[in-house]
Amino acid sequence: MQPELAAPSWTLTNTPPLWPLEFFCVALNQKMETLIEECDAGTFGHVWNISAGSKKRSRELRVFYQDGLAVLNRRPLVEKSYEQCVAEFLPQTRGLRGTELQKLWCCGVDLIHDLDAAGFLPIERDRSAGSGPTASKLYSRAGIITFLTNRALVRDPKLN
């Protein structure tokens, strides 16, 4: 009989603020269906479905990193309002480029393009307004907050 291994204590630095649910499948050694049910039940705290499709058909679930660390370390979730959570990873005074959204949401360029094409991300400045080969669309901060508010799985009662 082998001795039981202690659960690892997770400490991650320089990680994106929103983690894909697939990460937790590996880290917790659980099936995706089980984790989706736990997200719907509120186990993970702040969770968003950032998919370009309908909410039920395809899911691109992202978990707020502090909530994810609490679940991984088997600790209680940090009490944080929706506004405080979003304020931690969105700049207060400006919009975001597509590449910045990719890093924040830990997703690929295709998802950002799909969200843009579907009209989910309002444009503050188009590519043509920039200069040079690295010019990029700038998405409005208010539009991003609206998108995230509409896509939150566990809704803050103040958002209703």
Helix spans in the chain (H): 21-28, 32-41, 65-72, 82-89, 98-105, 109-117, 141-150
Query: What is the pLDDT at residue 53?
Result: 73
Query: Six-digit token pair at 8?
Result: 């690892």
Query: What is the pLDDT at residue 62?
Result: 92
pLDDT tens for the chain, 160 residues long, are: 555 545 555 455 567 889 999 999 888 888 989 988 888 888 888 999 998 875 555 678 999 999 988 988 889 998 888 888 888 888 888 889 888 899 899 998 889 989 999 999 998 877 655 566 666 788 999 999 999 999 998 655 554 4
CA distance 45 to 22: 16
Distance from CA of residue 86 to its chain's centroid? Answer: 10
Do strands 123-125 and 96-97 pair parallel, antiparallel, or not at all (unpaired)?
unpaired
Query: What is the pLDDT at residue 160?
Result: 41
Query: Six-digit token pair at 60?
Result: 């691109």
Q: Is 57 helix (H, G, I), strand (E, B) or coil?
A: coil
- The closest alpha carbon to 151, from 124, 125, 123, 115, belongs to 115
Query: What is the pLDDT at residue 4?
Result: 54
Q: Is 20 helix (H, G, I), strand (E, B) or coil?
A: strand
Query: What is the pLDDT at residue 142?
Result: 92
Query: What is the pLDDT at residue 147?
Result: 93
